[in-house]
Amino acid sequence: MSFQKIFLFDFDGVIVDGMHEYWNSSLLACEKYLNSPYISVDQNLYKTVPNAFKKIRPWVKYGWEMILIVHEIIKPENPLKNHNKDDFINNYHQNCQRILNDNYWNSEDLQKILDKSRKCQIDNDFESWVNLHNPYFEVINFMKELQKRKIKTGIITTKGKIFAEKILKQLNISPEFIYGYESGTKIKIAEELSQTYEILGFLEDRKKTLIDIKKNSETSHIPCFLADWGYLKELDRFNLSNEIKLIKLGNLMELVAI
């Protein structure tokens, strides 16, 4: 049986740099929708992304975590700043859970208000919202080259599907599949796709996701590529197993040969 070929991509950090969008949307969510007595939003904060936010970004798996980080950064009392970010990072998951518990929040509600914040911006000024995303044109050209060669492309992201679709449309990219956080875990989606497609590769900037794919017996055969330009932790580029290849923007077209 001959399977159709497909190449899989992560979205934020791989196809686009969404750092500014995540900061602005999370900040707006805190300002408009988050019920917290501990924060006060300064409009000047919308102009630049704090260094602490940039440094913590590689630890984030789901969008709702961004709201927690922004909440901690903009607190007047004991705010999260560059000088104490390492303490937060060293116990990242425990700190996220602590903030949820302390404020009686849950991740589902935070994800909903992040989506609500994005919808508000799209409805009011779509162009400004889209322009918060900086595309990696080398990746876009690589995707188009794959499609020229009759290789399908699919995107698996922890962003909401509807928002990824809007950005991709602006970039004139039409992948065969777009899976958002609503579709489940990346591992499960890759499992399901591998039943009907020959997956030529998965390009992702979260090392742990690629490690999990390689550990899963149903997906271990998928070639995995770690995006050197993405939101990587300092040590992510080192001690990679032979099963995960670090790839640079300038070398993307080499993958066409696979």
Domains of the chain: 4-17+135-257 (3.40.50.1000), 19-130 (no CATH)
CA atoms of 244 and 247, how far apart (whole Å): 9
CA atoms of 176 and 155, how far apart (whole Å): 8
Condensed to tens digits (0 to 9), the pLDDT of residues 11-21 reads 999 999 999 99
Whole-angstrom CA distances from 1 to 90, 123, 195, 196, 198 are: 48, 47, 11, 10, 11
pTM strictly above 0.95: no
Condensed to tens digits (0 to 9), the pLDDT of residues 176-214 reads 999 999 999 999 999 999 999 999 999 999 999 999 999
Beta bridge partners of 12: 16
